[in-house]
Amino acid sequence: MIPQANPELLKDLVRMAMPFGKYKGRLLCDLPMHYLEWFANAGFPSGKLGMLLSTIYEIKLNGLEQLLEPIRRSVRGS
């Protein structure tokens, strides 16, 4: 379940890069679904990273990526 829409968390999805693994350096919002599915099955990391990964997983699972587009534009513009 997606946590209550916290604008700062959603901004983190379009600003924060994956800190480790095969996709190290890629923005969390750009991680491929198969990678997020692997985490969903194996277990998300603890802490904020795990919460962000599970949030982007739920967003993508439900086809809601377009909700991040205005946030991407505003982050790029700042």
Query: Helix crossing, 47-61 with 7-15: angle to 10°?
Result: 90
Instruction: Give the pLDDT band (50/70/90) at residue 76.
Output: confident
The domains of the chain are located at 7-77
pLDDT digits (tens, 9 = 90+) for 22-69: 999 999 999 999 999 999 999 999 999 999 999 999 999 999 999 899
DSSP per-residue string spanning 36-67: HHHHHHH-PPSHHHHHHHHHHHHHHHTT-GGG
Is the alpha carbon torsion for 9, 12, 17, 23 positive or negative?
positive
Instruction: Give the pLDDT band (50/70/90) at residue 4.
Output: low
Instruction: Give the pLDDT band (50/70/90) at residue 75.
Output: confident
- Nearest of 3, 12, 5 to residue 72 by alpha carbon: 12
